Structure 1
Amino acid sequence: MKHSVILDYNHCRGCTTCIKNCPTEAIRVRSGKAKILNVRCIDCGKCIRVCPHRAIKSISDDLSKLEDFEYRVALPDPVLYGQFQHLDDIDIVLNGLLAIGFQKVFETARAAEMLSDYARHSISSGEERVLPQISSACPAIVRLIGIRFPKLIPNVAPTIAPVELAAILARREAVKETGLPPEKIGVFAIVPCSAQVTAAHSPVGLQEPVLDGAFAIRDIYLRLLGPMKDLKEVRPLSSAGIMGVGWAYCGGESAARLGEPYLAVDGIENCIQMLEEIEDGRLPEADFIELAACTQGCVGGCLTVENPYGARMRIKNLMKGLPVSRNRFDYRGGDRELVKSDREIQYVPAFLLDQDRAAALEKMIRVEELQRTLPGLDCGSCGAPSCHALAEDVVQGRATVEDCIFKVRERMQYMAGTGDADEYLPAPFRQRKREIRAGGRRGEGGP
């Protein structure tokens, strides 16, 4: 799988900030540069936000890709609407998209309303499901479950993401309207995060991609500013209501299910904590769990422009003039299977020590033994996020024990005899002297 999160080695200084913040321990620092373990990366974008040197970034499709198609359809995420200050009409944004090279706009919020209606119908009809059901809307969370919480895979809702349903329906409409073959119609999502860029090319719940590409909101935002100001006519293009636009922030999807007991959790660390509790059997008193990897939901994506709290406020203001819902799912049209995933979520054994069970048990014992000899400070100076991760890397041949600065100190003390190796450690890790140097100066700087 090709990830959208990449490293720029020219900017990386090996500061270890990223390794301490990665929720799946997918990053190591070796030879002064960070390295991503691709099998563990879920493209959540946490490392992008915390990197002080901007060495980690997300690569979305280039806008020049539009030229490969005769007819181009834009699928704007409702998060886009919250990026513009003093915006009072969604149609201004949608008309701006037509002005920058798209021939058609199909709102992702429209597909979100259909999925909400489908969910309400499934609940009322008593359709069998594993509770609590976990939302499948956030691809980073779905990949996280596939890597760290395989027991919860049956709990994930068996429906595709709104942007995927929007792509399928938009292409159908475009074929009918233009008479062009599907391959000459380019359907592009305008997304707020790196996980959705990756999912556009490697979908979690579909056998084949339904999108031709994904553009970052921050890139489209810059292109839209001029054309939106120069619009001479604003045609009514908006086709979604409060329920669809509300999916832009955490809790919007849950609220659109109307009355079902739910929990809405944002932030990758909070989501992990909730998944751990569900896995341990401490089930919350809710039938539906909405998990969003980003702060405040999709409005907090790493490819957005505005502060997530401000963007959420603007979206709520725009929703005041909208109807509750404008779209219903067509149960009679034979599209019942359209919203369902055609591929089961795959368990990715990213943390498996060995394919052979006996060998894996042996390695696990060695990891535990080695970890007991390490200081347990999880300082990150070795280039691994924790002492356990370093022990695992050593056993797997990705590192050596000497990568630990405390092990180096022990070796130096042994070789030097009476020498003092503490001076080679960073100040916070030096051992406190039992006595202040000759003459003692206890009154200066504390006891």
Structure 2
Amino acid sequence: MERKTIHSVTLDTDKCRGCVSCMRRCPTEAIRVRNKKAKVLYDRCIGCGECVRVCPHHAKIPAFDSFDMIHKYKYKVAIVAPSFYGQFKSQYDINLILNGLLAVGFDDVEEVAKAAELVSEATREWMKNTQDIKHPIINTACPTIVELILVRFHGLIDNLLPLQTPADVAIKLAYKKAKEKGYKDEEIGIFFISPCPAKVLALKNGIGIKSPLVTGVLSMAEVYYKVVTALSQIKEVKPLNKAGFLGVAWASSGGEALGVNKEKYLEASGIENVIAVLKEIENGKLENLDFVELNACTGGCVGGVLTVENPFVAKAKIREFGKKIPCIGSTNTIKNAGLTYKDFDWEVVPTINDVFKLDENRIKAMQKLEQIESIYAKLPHFDCGVCGAPSCKAFAEDVVIEGFSIDDCTRMDERTTE
């Protein structure tokens, strides 16, 4: 699989002041500060958006497509993530929100929540019939979690649930529907409304997908502001909502686990909490669990950096919306969708992204490791970031691999002596 052809975050160098806030926060040490400007090491970036969240100068820019892009296509479909509903007042109706998307220019909508109910069914079937499952199974709906495991937790790849995400399934259903209506490929525009930059990268590059069908990925915040101003102009509300609460609940942490219907499960959100859980799994401490649901953003997708509402408020709104709809959509089964369980399998298996490998040659790698340990032993171990690396260990690696000078550490004279 070709990786990282698209970046999920870019830098506005004019706004960047080299304050190291983003560098300190990055969970994969994918950021350095060089010449007073942040630099992203994109081969390490997992698209979590933490740098966007913590930058006090708004220098980190999450990637997404312009809304105006939809007007290039004759048949425009909005792929609506359930977290979108949580941005609106809970007094509204999901049907009204979906009609709002038609009012701002889309010709049709496809609910990711509906596809989520199908993926829940496929997951239950997979866990029931698959032999020798490596416990616990880790969800793959959050692309940052998949990327994090591919970059940092290689031993957990076999724990990943090898099924396509609800967003991917919804996109395929929308494409199938458009073709059945007689539209040509060049006339079809399929646009996912995203709560985070990680899904921009995942849907365009494809995780477990050979040929992504998405046309563009839009900012949830941008679409929200367009829709919320159009709601008062809607006179006829069409019944567009097909999903039940089981699918809508995927918007917040714990929703996916709810659909799996397993008693022995764990759910965690927030990148630091996720890493702590992955370390527990790596150490073999959670093998008694059947399913682990992890979301990089606090609260789940409602906490994405492209949303507008506080994640905890949005989660409460999602719960209120759930009271107005059935537990599950009456026709939302894999059979009724014209699909089979095999249609949900990964088309390609994601591969390890071994960015921390010191050298392809094992002997040279060992030599570099010895050099790194030697340099690290000389450093003050303050992890202050003044050198432009997130930690003294990372700086030692930069000296050996990138050719930086140990003299770039300005606090060597402060090193504590034994």
Fold match (TM-score > 0.5): yes
- Aligned partner of 2:298 in structure 1 is 295
- Aligned partner of 1:83 in structure 2 is 87
Counterpart residue identity of residue 5, structure 1: V
Match of 1:129 among 128, 133, 149: 133
- Aligned partner of 1:320 in structure 2 is 323
RMSD across aligned positions (CA): 1.6
Match of 1:394 among 381, 399, 413: 399
Contact in 2 for aligned 1:187/1:211 (Cα 8 Å): yes
The alpha-carbon deviation at position 398 of structure 1 amounts to 4.8
* CA offsets 1:309-362 (integer angstroms, 9 cap, x no match): 000001100101111111111299553222111111110111111111111110
Counterpart residue identity of residue 268, structure 1: I
Counterpart residue identity of residue 143, structure 2: P
The alpha-carbon deviation at position 284 of structure 1 amounts to 4.9
- Structure 2 SS opposite 1:256: helix
TM-score between both structures, scaled by the size of structure 2: 0.95
Counterpart residue identity of residue 367, structure 2: E
Deviation beyond 4 Å, 4+ runs, structure 1: 331-334
Does 1:231 pair with 2:234?
yes
Match of 1:249 among 237, 252, 256: 252
Give the direction of change, closer, same or farther, for the CA distance of 1:169–1:332 in structure 2 (3 Å limit).
Answer: closer
Distance in 1, Cα, partners of 2:415 & 2:29: 27
* CA offsets 1:83-133 (integer angstroms, 9 cap, x no match): 112433101110000011110111000000000011122334455532111
The alpha-carbon deviation at position 430 of structure 1 amounts to 11
**Once the two structures are aligned, what percentage of the paired residues are identical?**
43
- Structure 2 SS opposite 1:39: coil
Contact in 2 for aligned 1:143/1:204 (Cα 8 Å): no
- Aligned partner of 1:204 in structure 2 is 207
* CA offsets 1:225-280 (integer angstroms, 9 cap, x no match): 22111111111110100110000000000011123411001011111111112112
- Structure 2 SS opposite 1:352: coil
Give the direction of change, closer, same or farther, for the CA distance of 1:272–1:125 in structure 2 (3 Å limit).
Answer: same
The alpha-carbon deviation at position 186 of structure 1 amounts to 1.0
- Structure 1 SS opposite 2:292: strand
Give the direction of change, closer, same or farther, for the CA distance of 1:360–1:331 in structure 2 (3 Å limit).
Answer: farther
Match of 2:58 among 54, 60, 72: 54
Distance in 1, Cα, partners of 2:301 & 2:102: 24
- Aligned partner of 1:112 in structure 2 is 116
Distance in 2, Cα, partners of 1:107 & 1:134: 24
The alpha-carbon deviation at position 45 of structure 1 amounts to 0.2
- Structure 1 SS opposite 2:284: coil
TM-score between both structures, scaled by the size of structure 1: 0.89
Match of 1:363 among 354, 363, 368: 368
Give the direction of change, closer, same or farther, for the CA distance of 1:99–1:333 in structure 2 (3 Å limit).
Answer: closer
Distance in 2, Cα, partners of 1:387 & 1:405: 12
- Aligned partner of 2:185 in structure 1 is 182
**What is the number of equivalent residue pairs in this alignment?**
410
- Structure 2 SS opposite 1:28: strand
Match of 2:345 among 322, 336, 340: 340
- Aligned partner of 1:39 in structure 2 is 43
- Aligned partner of 2:18 in structure 1 is 14
- Aligned partner of 1:423 in structure 2 is none
The alpha-carbon deviation at position 183 of structure 1 amounts to 3.3
- Structure 2 SS opposite 1:114: helix
Match of 1:272 among 266, 269, 275: 275
- Aligned partner of 2:357 in structure 1 is 352
The runs of 5 or more residues in structure 1 that have no matched partner are: 411-428, 432-447
